[in-house]
Amino acid sequence: MAEISADSLFDAAVRILLLERSIVITFEAGNTIRIKLPITRRVAEFLGIPHYLVLRSFALLEQEEFVIKAERAGIVTTRSGSRRMIRVMQERYRKEVEVILGVQVFEELARRTGSP
């Protein structure tokens, strides 16, 4: 089986967060925004693929500096990963995200991450 694309992983993560109505965002020094991703087993279950494929794909995302493993938090986005995740939210799931976060909060996240 081939690797899962970064776009597919981010899309699945956003869909899971929306289904669970739980988007956890942290703000760190240096204006860095981190978005907590669902656990890898949940992503594998959601996509209907083996867990090891999701692990391998997340490892590639980590090498590309889109995500990091944060102690006691799980997998979270980096600055570029947050930008990409917000872009997926804007392009595909704007209304659903605005219901959970509110329009103003979502617009501010887009502004801070440099998403259009």
Sequence-ordered list of residues with C-beta below 8 angstroms from that of 51, at least 6 positions apart, any chain = 40, 41, 44
Domain ranges of the chain: 6-113
What pTM was computed for the model?
0.89
Render pLDDT for 85-106 as a digit per residue (tens, 0 to 9). 999 999 999 999 999 999 999 9
67 beta partners: 77
Render pLDDT for 26-85 as a digit per residue (tens, 0 to 9). 888 777 899 999 999 999 999 999 999 999 999 999 999 999 988 877 899 999 999 999
CATH topology of domain 6-113: Arc Repressor Mutant, subunit A (1.10.10)
**What φ, ψ does residue 71 adopt, rounded to 5°?**
-55, 130
Q: What is the pLDDT of residue 2?
A: 63
Q: Does residue 67 contact residue 58 with C-beta atoms inside 8 Å?
A: yes
